[in-house]
């Protein structure tokens, strides 16, 4: 890993640190916030921006190793960006439906 | 300069492990079922990111396929669990 050129190692390191901080802060918010609908928001920060940062760092490092552009990590980014809103919307609908049903039964 | 990237890799791994621990705490604590499903989704995403960081550390491309599989399974399981919470059935006739 130490034979990487500096133009790849320095941005990759910064991106990895940013992604780690985002993911940790998002999970901390998931643990600390009071309500389910507010609890849904912080992990999305880590799962979209954090994933983007990690995959950009992965593209940088593997391109610097191979000596040519290696962009196969874009697939995971596209997949996460497409699927994160779907799961968020389904979970929010399930939460609203369940709280309404509980209020109706009371 | 050369020691910066291994430090960043270790730091990011520890952050993702901490995020998985916090999500596991929410998974055990969560008052409602949707809290547990959300915590499981967060654990899937963070495990995928941890695998990608391990792939950067070991400079191997085998971790990429595992990360893609974990992302796929996480999406499918979260959608199935949310559908179950919403309807009471996963696959409706």
Parent domain of A17: 6-105
Average pLDDT, integer, range A34-50? 89
Write down the ipTM of this complex: 0.87
CA B25 – CA B37 distance, rounded (Å): 13
Does the pTM surpass 0.95? The reply is no
Contact between B49 and B71 under an 8 Å Cβ cutoff? The reply is no
User: Which among A14, A23, A94 is the nearest to B86, CB-wise?
Assistant: A94
> Quick one: pLDDT at residue A1?
57
Computed over its alpha carbons, how large is the radius of gyration of chain B?
16
- Residue A73's pLDDT band (boundaries 50, 70, 90)? confident
Longest dimension (CA), chain B: 60
In a domain, A59, yes or no: yes
Task: Take residue B68 and report the two structure tokens written for it.
Answer: 């893609």
Domain count of chain A? 1
In a domain, A17, yes or no: yes
Per the prediction, chain A carries an average pLDDT of 87
Kindly report the backbone phi and psi dihedral angles of residue B79, in degrees, each rounded to the nearest multiple of 5, phi listed first: -65, -40
CA dihedral A77, A23, B32, A39 (to 10 degrees): -100
Instruction: State which residue of chain B sits closest to A99, comparing Cα positions.
Output: B32
Contact between B49 and A51 under an 8 Å Cβ cutoff? The reply is yes
Would you say residue A106 has pLDDT above 80? Answer: no
In a domain, A82, yes or no: yes
Would you say residue A79 has pLDDT above 70? Answer: yes
In a domain, A34, yes or no: yes
CA B40 – CA B12 distance, rounded (Å): 20
In a domain, A18, yes or no: yes
Q: Touching check for B54 and chain A: CB below 8 Å?
A: no
Instruction: State which residue of chain B sits closest to A91, comparing Cα positions.
Output: B82
User: Which among B6, B35, B86 is the nearest to A39, CB-wise?
Assistant: B35
In a domain, A1, yes or no: no
The answer to whether the CB atoms of A39 and B46 lie below 8 A apart is no
Q: Exposed, middle or buried: residue A100 (CB in 10 Å: 0-12, 13-18, 19+)?
A: exposed
- Residue A105's pLDDT band (boundaries 50, 70, 90)? confident
Q: Which fold has domain B4-87?
A: Helix Hairpins (1.10.287)
Question: Mind listing the pLDDT tens digit for each residue in A59-72?
Answer: 888 888 888 888 88
HSE value, Cβ hemisphere, 13 Å, CA-based, for B48: 30
Would you list the DSSP string of A48-63?
Answer: IIIHHHHHHHHHHHHH
Instruction: Report chain A residues whose CB lies below 8 A from the CB of B24.
Output: none
Interface probe for A, chosen from B3, B9, B12, B20 (most Cβ of A below 10 Å), is: B12
> Quick one: pLDDT at residue A18?
93
Minimal Cα–Cα distance from A51 to chain B, Å? Answer: 7
> Quick one: pLDDT at residue B64?
87
In a structure prediction context, what are the per-residue pLDDT tens digits for chain B, which is 93 residues long?
568 888 999 999 999 999 999 999 999 987 888 899 999 999 999 999 999 999 888 887 788 888 999 999 999 999 999 989 888 777 776
In a domain, A41, yes or no: yes
Task: Take residue A21 and report the two structure tokens written for it.
Answer: 């901080």
Percent of chain A with pLDDT over 70: 98
> Quick one: pLDDT at residue A2?
57
């Amino acid at each position: 890993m130490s034979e990487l050129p500096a133009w790849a190692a320095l941005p990759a390191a910064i991106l990895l640190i940013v992604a780690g901080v985002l993911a940790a802060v998002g999970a901390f918010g998931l643990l600390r916030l009071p309500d389910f609908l507010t609890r849904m928001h912080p992990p999305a920060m880590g799962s979209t921006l954090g994933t983007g940062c990690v995959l950009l760092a992965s593209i940088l490092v593997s391109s610097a190793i191979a000596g040519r552009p290696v962009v196969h990590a874009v697939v995971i980014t596209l997949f996460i960006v497409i699927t994160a809103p779907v799961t968020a919307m389904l979970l929010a609908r399930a939460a609203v439906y369940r709280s309404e049903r509980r209020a109706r039964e009371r | 300069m050369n020691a910066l990237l291994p430090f960043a890799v270790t730091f990011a791994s520890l952050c993702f492990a901490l995020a998985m621990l916090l999500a596991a705490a929410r998974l055990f604590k969560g008052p409602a079922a949707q809290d547990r499903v959300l915590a499981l989704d967060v654990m899937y995403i963070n495990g995928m990111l941890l695998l990608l960081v391990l792939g950067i550390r070991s400079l191997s491309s085998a971790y990429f396929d595992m990360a893609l599989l974990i992302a796929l399974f996480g999406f499918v399981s979260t959608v199935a669990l949310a559908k179950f919470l919403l309807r009471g059935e996963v696959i409706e006739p």
